[in-house]
Structure 1
Amino acid sequence: MQIIDFYNFSNAEIRVWLRREPFAEEYMLEYSAFINKWLDKNVQSFVFETSGTTGKPKEITFTREQLANSAKRSADVFNLKEGDLTLLPLPATYVAGRMMMVRAAINKQRVLFVQPDANPLKDLPEEIKISFAPFVPYQLEGILSDPHSTAVFEKIHTVIIGGAPLSEDMTERLSLFKNNIFATFGMTETLTHIALRRIAPETQSLYTLLPQVKIGVNNDNCLKIKDELLDTPWIQTNDIVELSGNQAFNWIARKDNVINSGGIKVFPEIIESALSKKVLFPFFIAGIKDKKLGEKVVFIGKTDNVSRAYLDALQKIFSTSLKKYEQPKEVFLLKEFVYNANKKVDRKATIELIGQ
């Protein structure tokens, strides 16, 4: 392993923690393209591509001023200071990783790149002092399963988690830490987070809006967002929420994941939350076509354990934890899920594996 200087990025000191050369070449080429574009003051617009988790990827354009304003707001909210060391364990493909670079440039911070894999902390020294770091839930499983990585993690002053909902089990595990840990709500269209839910210390149940963000709901109780700081139009999401006043909300589920089974709307995320403490391997709930019900609820897990006793144990968990209409009608156990470049489970592509 080695540390190399990479760029002086508008007074932000960039360093790279290398584990193997393919990482350096592939990962840094992506970032160098974005960095060089940002350093070119003649470039006033930047194109971001959505991850395509819930539909066809699309391109969205923001101005340099919008990126800078978002970065300054994050610095104020998280009390980020000039010279702070921030960790970047995310790929350059999408908005979360790129906005970490913009924050570093605008706020003159030091950045340490690490390989964006399942456990990006495993080779870092325990004594390293990191002020700010983003992760996705996929990475937290790897980090918290390793004592050394856990020791590094608990010394990070502020952690933000995005990209996918946190399970109830992971939320409880994180709540035991004493550093500042937040679940974030945001998307490419909002230049990452526009709301935060504190996980540690003192876990909160609601997402609270960042300054200058307004929200509402449509007839399906799906969240709509207007960010006055970025001067964007109202953005309609597919996230079903419960509003708490005009500054906070409780996230319920994704409308596009809802299963219509025999005329009953079933929310996969609610089932996943109910099972998360009892099913100790990655899984998700989905709906597949059924002649009688239209769609039936199925359980899709990632494990090598496919014994009859294990399947019986799962059925018992279903019957004691879920309402009858929520209980999966079929179980599929796979050796691997399909992930997109942003380390989110690609539910549609994973479901397609079932038919192969």
Structure 2
Amino acid sequence: MIPAYNKIHNRFKLNSSSFLYEDLEEVAYSYVKEGLPFEKEIGNFLIDWLDDKDYVFVQTSGSTGKPKSIKLQKQAMVHSAIATGDFFKLKPGDTALHCLPSQYIAGKMMLVRAMILGLELDITEPTSQPVFDYEKHYDFCAMVPLQLQKVRTYCNNIKSLIVGGASVSSSLKEAIQGIKTNVFETYGMTETITHIAVKKINNFKIETECHAELVEASHFKTLPNIHISQDERNCLIIEAPKLSKDKIITNDVVKLHSETSFEWFGRYDNVVNSGGVKLFPEQIEAKLESKMSTRFFISKEKEETLGECIILVVESKSNTVDTSVFPGLTKFEIPKKIYSVEKFIESANGKILRQQTLKSLK
């Protein structure tokens, strides 16, 4: 039987304390009135979750457009929590670590998973380098790539860790091959109530009882009850009736490998058509990221002969880049111009806002 959103699992614990549904409201108000800023966000969400409405409003990050408020059904969030629980074999009494900001969907869903699945949730401040009990065993955790980069050597007692919110660099993937934790990159968005697909990115030779099939590093595998297809642009279409009544048409160009797996290439709105050759900035960035010493991104601008050309934008006071980083790129992938910005414009949760940063060049 699927649990209702207005019920709390009797095994749920928050920072080692058990709470009934009616008790949580007092906890929430305490967080709002007396808590640290990140605790106030937790309190605000719990107040929204415990009210009489069957929905909540969630703010998008704004990394692929203007930030906006989206209405999500609470029961759909329950279904999302159950899908994650089923995939990772989470059971009542399992431990989880919450170190994400709770004003965004990823942080909110850590709370929902704990309340619905009966997890024992420990909360720590969502800094770039979360501080937690490195000796304590955790069955589940979610982080952004920067957090994983900084605490990867302390993660061996976390059984399964999902990482999302930004792409995972090849250097980070290489750095986590030696840790015991099974790490999964996620694909999703606010509209899909966090991830609808994951791919294993380390320990490929270790076949655990529930993840042995995830040995293909380039493919995302969908969670239960997710149906995928493509439109005429080769962009991903997601049908998730338990999460959204409408089809979700994305701007993500993919290749379908099966009814339940796909490979992600990049954003359709980022594609560069240079002399008739379609280029994905995200793939060029992946080739360069191990060679660049500063933050950067690839974009495009109009060019008379080619139509569009590749440009490189670096976070630096100087637009001088050692050309030794370019071997390995095709002639169309090599940036025709290099621009520098002293500080990239970012969203509240640290994502680079490319379009706004580009506008600041003018």
| TM-score relative to the length of structure 1 | 0.84
Q: Encode CA deviations 1:170-226: one digit per residue, 9 max, x unaligned.
A: 222223333111011111111111111011220522111111110000111000000
Report the AA paired with residue 76 of structure 2.
Q
Q: Encode CA deviations 1:109-134: one digit per residue, 9 max, x unaligned.
A: 222222222212xx334312222111
Within a 5 Å distance, the mapping from 1:134-283 to structure 2 comes to 134-141=142-149, 143=150, 149-202=151-204, 204-230=217-243, 232-283=245-296
Report the AA paired with residue 166 of structure 1.
V
- Cα pair distance change 1:158/1:289, threshold 3 Å: same
Structure 1 residue 152: deviation in Å?
1.9
Report the AA paired with residue 354 of structure 1.
L
Q: 1:337 aligns with which of 338, 344, 353?
A: 344
Structure 1 residue 263: deviation in Å?
4.5
- Return the alpha-carbon distance in structure 2 between the equivalents of residues 97 and 134 of structure 1: 8
Q: 1:77 aligns with which of 60, 72, 87?
A: 87
- Return the alpha-carbon distance in structure 2 between the equivalents of residues 54 and 307 of structure 1: 25
Q: 1:124 aligns with which of 128, 132, 139?
A: 132
Structure 1: stretches of 5+ with no match in the other structure: 1-8, 17-22, 144-148
- 1:25 matched residue in structure 2: 36
SS across alignment from 2:87: helix
SS across alignment from 2:138: coil
Q: Alpha carbon RMSD of aligned pairs, Å?
A: 2.4
SS across alignment from 2:158: coil
- Return the alpha-carbon distance in structure 2 between the equivalents of residues 295 and 139 of structure 1: 36
Higher helix share: 1
Asked whether 1:48 is paired with 2:52, we answer no
Asked whether 1:37 is paired with 2:48, we answer yes
Report the AA paired with residue 15 of structure 2.
R
Would the aligned equivalents of 1:138 and 1:343 in 2 still touch at CA under 8 Å? no
SS across alignment from 2:242: coil
Structure 1 residue 352: deviation in Å?
3.1
Structure 2: stretches of 5+ with no match in the other structure: 1-7, 17-33, 205-214
SS across alignment from 1:185: strand
- Return the alpha-carbon distance in structure 1 between the equivalents of residues 155 and 340 of structure 2: 31
Deviating 4+ runs (over 4 angstroms): 289-294
- Return the alpha-carbon distance in structure 2 between the equivalents of residues 93 and 289 of structure 1: 38
Structure 1 residue 292: deviation in Å?
5.6
Structure 1 residue 268: deviation in Å?
0.3
- Return the alpha-carbon distance in structure 2 between the equivalents of residues 132 and 157 of structure 1: 6
Structure 1 residue 86: deviation in Å?
1.5
- Which one is further off, 198-207 or 172-181? 172-181
- 1:67 matched residue in structure 2: 77
